[in-house]
Amino acid sequence: MSKNKNNQAIWGNRIKKNTSSIFQKVGNSIDVDKRLYKEDIIGSIAHVEMLFKQKIISFKIKNKIVYGLNKIKKEITNKKFEFNKKYEDIHINIEKRLFEIIGEDAGFIHTARSRNDQVITDLKIWMKSSTKEINILLDVIIKSVIRAAEKNIYTLMPGFTHLKNAQPVSFGHYLMAYVEMFKRDQKRFINNLDSLNENPLGVAALTGTSFNIDRNYTTKKLGFTKPTNNSIDTISDRDFVLDFLYSISVCAMHISRIAEELIIWNSDAFKLINLSDKVVTGSSIMPQKKNPDLLEFLRGKSGIIYGNLFSMLTILKSLPLSYYKDLQDDKEIVFKSNDTLQNCLKILDEILKNFTPNKKQMIELANTGYLTATDLADYLVKNHSMPFRKAYKVTANIVNFAEKKKKNLDQLTLAELKKIEPKLSNDVLKVFDLKNSVNSKKSYGGTSFDNIKKMILKYKRKK
C-alpha cells in the first residue's frame, strides 16, 4: 500500500471517479464515530501486537505502528488532530494520519483485518465502558432513594391503585419500590456484558482470514472473554446493540414513572411533596407558578429513547447477511440513547436531593377513602372465622354506612358497627388505626416498618 500523496480514498485504485458530493456528505460518519478514537487505537495496537507475535509483521514495523498510534492518541487528546470529513470515519482518519507519521509501513496495520470487524470491536469496547458508567450512575440514584426512604419509614401516605386511595403505606416503602426497579436495570446492563464480551476482531470482512492470526491473544489483550464463533454472524450481529438500547429504554421508563409520580404529588390537587426552587422553573406570564419542568423533561426523554430502539429494530428488520451501509447508523443511535440516559440519571439524582414530603397532607389524604377497609375484612376472617367473601360483603356494608353518615371508618362507634355485624367487639376499633394497618403487613415484601428497615439495611450492606 503506497503513501497516498493525493489524499485519495483507500479504494481509489478501484473506483476511478470521485464520489458524488451528496454521498460524501451523507456517507461520512466522522462527526459521530470520532468519539471512538481511544477504542480504535487500543484495538489497533492489540491487532498489530498479535501480528508481530504470529510473525506476520516484523518487530520494527510493529513498533513504528504502535509509536504512530500513540502519537495520534496524544494529538486527539490535546485537540491537535484535524478530523477530515473526506476520510469518512475515525478509522480512516487515524490510518491516514499514521501514513503521514510513519510512511509506507502504516499499510501493514490493516493486515488480516477489515473495517467491518474493526468497528464492531471499537463499539463493543466503548459499550462495555459505558455500561459500567451507567451502573455507577444507577448506584448513585439507588443511594439517594434509600436515603429518602430511611428518613420516611414512619411517614404514612395512601397507596394507590387506579390512582384511587387504596391502602395506607409507608412513604419509605413506596420509595423502596423504585430501588427494586433500578436494581433490575443494573442486572439488565450486567447481563448484556455476556454478548459484549465476545471479541469480533479477526473475522475480517466476512469469512475470517487466511493469515495465521491468534484471536485468543487479542481477546485477552482487549478484555474480552472469548472470540465470536461465526464470522458471518459477527459482521451482521447488532443484537448487542438492541440489548443495550432495550436496557436503556426500560431504565428510561422507570425514570419516567417516578417523574410522573413526583409531578402528580407536586400538583396543587395532591400537594404530597414540595420541590425546591433548584429544580423548578417559572412561568412567562403567571408570576405565581413553579413548574416541575425538569421532571417533565425526564418524562419526555423516554419517548426519544424508545424511538431510538425502534429505529434500530427497523434497520435490522429484513436485513440480509452480512454487512450493509444500513448498519452505519447504529453508533449514532447508541451514543444518543446513552448520552440521554446518563443525563437523565444525573437530573433525577438532583431532583431526589431537592424534594421534601408534605407529611401533614400525606396523612390527611390517607384518612380519606376508607383505606383500612381491607384490614377490617381481614379482621373478620381472623377473629370471627368468617369466609373472606362474606367478610368482604360485611365490610362493604360498613363502608356504605360510613359514607352515608359522612364519617371515616375510625369515626364510627362500636354501636354503629354492631348494627351491621353484631359479632364485633371493642378490639375492632384498633383495625382502623393507619399506623397499625401499615405495620401489620409483616409478610416478606410487605410494608411493615421492620420489613422496610431490613430491606434498607440489606441494600446498604451490599454497597
Residues assigned a catalytic role:
162, 283
The length of the chain in residues reads 463
**SS3 annotation, the chain:** CCCCCCCCCCCCCCCCCCCCHHHHHHHCCHHHHHHHHHHHHHHHHHHHHHHHHCCCCCHHHHHHHHHHHHHHHHHHHCCCCCCCHHHCCHHHHHHHHHHHHHHHHHHHHHCCCCHHHHHHHHHHHHHHHHHHHHHHHHHHHHHHHHHHHHHCCCCEEEEEECCEEEEEEEHHHHHHHHHHHHHHHHHHHHHHHHHHCEECCCCCCCCCCCCCCCHHHHHHHCCCCEECCCHHHHHHCCHHHHHHHHHHHHHHHHHHHHHHHHHHHHCCCCCCEEECHHHCECCCCCCCCCECHHHHHHHHHHHHHHHHHHHHHHHHCCCCCCCCHHHHHHHHHHHHHHHHHHHHHHHHHHHHCCEEECHHHHHHHHCCCCCCHHHHHHHHHHHHCCCHHHHHHHHHHHHHHHHHHCCCHHHCCHHHHHHHCCCCCHHHHHHHCHHHHHHCCCCCCCCCHHHHHHHHHHHHHHC
Show the cell assigned to 8: 485519495
Half-sphere exposure of 236 (CA within 13 A, CB side): 16
Q: How far apart are CA 347 and CA 295, in angstroms?
A: 9
Calpha distance 395→52 (Å, rounded): 82
> Backbone phi, then psi, for 360, in 5-degree steps?
-65, -45
Question: Please, are residues 90 and 33 in contact by the beta-carbon 8 Å criterion?
Answer: yes
Residue partners of 332: CB distance under 8 A and separation at least 6:
29, 32
- Is there a contact between 240 and 289 (Cβ–Cβ < 8 Å)? no
**Sign of dihedral through CA atoms 103, 109, 115, 120?**
negative
